[in-house]
Structure 1
Amino acid sequence: MLPPIANRFVAGESPATALERVRRLNERGIAGIVNLLGEHYDDRESVRADAAEYRALVRDIAASDLEACISVKPSQLGLDLGEVLFRETVTNVVDAAAAEDVFVWIDMEDHTTTDATLDAFEELAREHEGGERSAGSRSSSDHGSDAGVGVCVQANLKRTREDVERLADVPGKVRFVKGAYDEPADIAYRDGDRIDREYESLLEYAFERYDGGVAVGSHDPAMIEHAIDCHERYGTDFEIQMLMGVREDAQDDLAAEYPVSQYVPYGNRWKSYFYRRLTERTGNVRFALRAVLDR
């Protein structure tokens, strides 16, 4: 059972608790991106177990009629054990989700996984063309479901501009984030202002060149405002994606006008994720201290 202070950032340990969180989000006009916590597996049993749980999860989402999709990590689905296993596993999960009309996000991890992740995404997106670039045809009241596949790109990597140009004609969705991994300076921008400028430039390119399917994964008000400005100028449909427990009031405010999705993690491997969330902002630390002192 999760301690009370972890409940702000993690939905619980079971699929049922995650889907209940999504149900409450849907009542607020926010879609859910459900993720079973787990990464960097070095044994096939863990890979197979999580893949099986994802296949069950998409069936549960379809049966519940929730506005929700799933998000998977390449290293969770076997990439650390080889690209062949990863491609087989992620294909099985995406095919199962497509059969239930549930969308799948493929997360991006550190730079060593970029090529394998993008190659798998492109193949799967073309195979399942018709489910997406479906954000281009969605309204703000229908932005969290439908079969298809999406991938994440990171603005701090110097290669990302070429990747974004490559993905412009791929029939899937693309999520833009600043990048959370501590990458080497020869392949990544390290200065925060430089990353912000690159992020804005990548969004500008995507809103101008993509025909939909743009997801803005950011809590930065300036980046969100830039995305809204691009949307108003180019008319490209988009959605805003934020984490559970971070700027929840802003999520509600934005959802009154734009499609918003919240990342909803769950599972018994919650500790490392929770501690990352706790330490990345001083406000999160203050929240945890208050929770402890008020007990």
Structure 2
Amino acid sequence: MKNTINREQQLAIDAATALKAIARRPDIKMQVEHQPQLYALLQRAAARYVTGEQRANALEVAELLHGEGYAVSLEYIGENTVSRADCQQAAAELMGVLTDLGEQGIGGRVSFDLSHIGLLVDNELALQHVLQLGELSQMYGIELFISMEESAKTAAILAIYRQAVALYPLIGITLQAHLHRTWEDASRLLAQDIRVRFVKGAYEEPDTLALSRSAELDDRYVQLFELAVERGCRISLATYDELLIDRLLLYSWEGAASVELELLYGIRPELAVQLREQSYPVRVYLTYGQEWYLYLCHRIAEYPPNLYQALIDVVGGQEQAPVMQYRLMKPH
């Protein structure tokens, strides 16, 4: 029995690793993009997790969810951009998102990867773009959140964050619980009203740098949460691990400036509804853009059984728009 359990677990791990490797292969991505029929089929599967390719798609979903009482976070998908012009285009698009959210009264949050707006080109370019976004976010009162990427980028990301948040306090930072360095980073960064999002960590890292998915990782996540509460932070708990969420709900949130649960669009919508019905603050993380291929691969890789759902979506399409699964039974 022991060998059977280990083999099943290993198959899941190997499947996730293979899917992440596929996501990073530009030759496969190019094949998908240049075969219209294959592109259209995979786009059906991506529609469960991505609101669409255009900003208008994301704004429409954001408005619907806002009307149901959810907070929202929007991300224009993209990372590891190596062209200065493409970085400038991405920054301009994010500014458009901020403006539209503000002018349409939706509010919410805009999230992004620093490598999408200049980190791989020039740290100063990335900082310049963050400051431009920060000024606009301050004008509209909309949070701006820097996502976390591979561990090799962590020091640069945190350095840019520190410079930016000193000028624009509506800027938040994401911390990955699985990295061994994160406790020290959190101890230095977290303070009253600091905006922080905790994630387990989606990137493959060596054991010398990070924990694998385990009870120890869950313990560290909880410890980081407790530290943030003690420091009076504004906290987003970004996980759809229901066992971990149940554990977090047992702790007192008193002392924190605010606490919310953040769930990815299309992942466990019934859990989002359940939490909102119980009056917990829930934020739904919405993505849009043409770079959905990598995002789809990661959603399947983090939970390989999602591959079955992707096959169903590809073959039969979806019976209803994913956003409709977020409707509540009672008003809030």
**TM-score (normalised: structure 2):** 0.78
Specify the alignment match of 1:79 in structure 2.
Answer: 119
- Specify the alignment match of 1:156 in structure 2: 178
For 1:235 and 1:75, how far apart are their aligned partners in 2? 30
Runs (4+) of structure 1 moved beyond 6 Å?
none
Contact 1:231 1:237 in 2 (8 A): no
Structure 1 residues 245-254 or 188-197, which shifts more? 188-197
Q: Which runs of 5+ in 1 are unaligned?
A: 130-147
Q: Which amino acid aligns with 2:77?
A: L
Pair 235,50 (structure 1): closer, same or farther in 2 beyond 3 Å: closer
Q: 1:232 to 1:35 in 2, by over 3 A?
A: closer
What is the deviation of 1:281?
Answer: 1.8
Q: Secondary structure at the residue paired with 2:179?
A: coil
Instruction: Write the letter of the residue equivalent to 1:90.
Output: V
Query: C-alpha distance in 1, partners of 2:291/2:89?
Result: 13
Conservation of the 8 A alpha-carbon contact between 1:34 and 1:263: yes
| Structure-2 separation of matches of 1:92 and 1:233 | 34
Query: Which amino acid in the other structure matches residue 259 of structure 2?
Result: F
Segment drifting more, 248-257 vs 12-21: 248-257
Alpha-carbon deviations, 1:66-124, whole Å to 9, x = none? 14210010100111112121111111112122122211010000111112212222222
Match of 1:9 in 2: 49
The code of the aligned residue for 1:225 comes to D
Are the equivalent residues in 2 in contact too, given 1:125–1:171 (CA < 8 A)?
no
Change (3 A) 1:232 1:269: closer
Q: Distance in 1 between matches of 2:314 and 2:87?
A: 35
Which of 245, 260, 273 aligns to 1:224? It is: 245
1:197 pairs, out of 201, 219, 224, with 219
C-alpha distance 288-237 of structure 1, shift in aligned 2 (>3 A): same
Partner AA of 2:56 in structure 1: A
User: CA offset at residue 277 of structure 1?
Assistant: 1.1
| Residue aligned with 1:239, SS | strand
Paired with 2:134 and 2:182, the residues of 1 have a C-alpha distance of 24
Q: Structure 1 residues 232 and 85, CA, compared in 2 at 3 Å: closer, same or farther? A: closer
Q: Is the 8 A contact 2:192 2:232 kept in 1?
A: no
Q: Which amino acid aligns with 1:113?
A: K
Q: Which residue does 2:17 correspond to in 1?
A: none
The percent identity for this pair of structures is 28
Whichever of the two has the greater Rg, that structure is 2
Task: Please tell me the root mean square deviation across aligned C-alpha atoms, in Å.
Answer: 1.8
Give runs of aligned pairs for residues 68-217 of structure 1, distance below 5 A. 68-129=108-169, 148-169=170-191, 171-190=193-212, 192-207=214-229, 209-217=230-238
Matched residue, 1:55: 95
Equivalent residues of 2:111, 2:146 under 8 A apart? yes
Matched residue pairs, number? 276
Partner Cα distance (1:107, 1:162) in 2: 18
> 2:235 is matched by which residue type in structure 1?
V
Alignment of 1:283-294 (within 5 A): 283-294=305-316
Q: State the AA in 1 paired with 2:198.
A: F
Contact persistence 2:147–2:173 (CA under 8 A): yes
Is contact 1:108–1:114 with CA below 8 Å preserved after alignment?
yes
Q: 1:233, 1:97 → 2: CA distance? A: 28
1:157-191 deviation line (CA, Å, top 9, x unaligned): 11111111112226430111111111122221235
Map of 1:135 onto structure 2: none
Q: 1:204-231, CA deviations, whole angstroms, 9 ceiling, x for partnerless residues? A: 2222x22130110111112212322223
C-alpha contact 1:108 1:153 (8 A) present in aligned 2: yes
- Give the one of 266, 271, 275 matched to 1:245: 266
The answer to whether 1:33 aligns with 2:73 is yes
Structure 1 residue 263 corresponds to structure 2 residue 285: yes
How far apart, CA to CA, are the structure 1 residues paired with 2:305 and 2:115? 30
TM-score (structure 1 length as normaliser): 0.88
Give yes or no for contact 1:231–1:238 (8 Å, CA) kept in 2: no
Give the Cα separation in 2 of the matches to 1:64 and 1:191: 40
What residue ranges of structure 2 are gaps of 5+ in the alignment? 1-38, 318-332
**Matched residues in 2 for 1:205 and 1:171: separation?**
13
154-163 or 119-128, which deviates more:
119-128
Partner residue in 1 for 2:61: 21
Query: What code does the residue aligned with 1:221 have?
Result: E
Greater mean deviation of Cα atoms: 98-107 or 118-127? 118-127
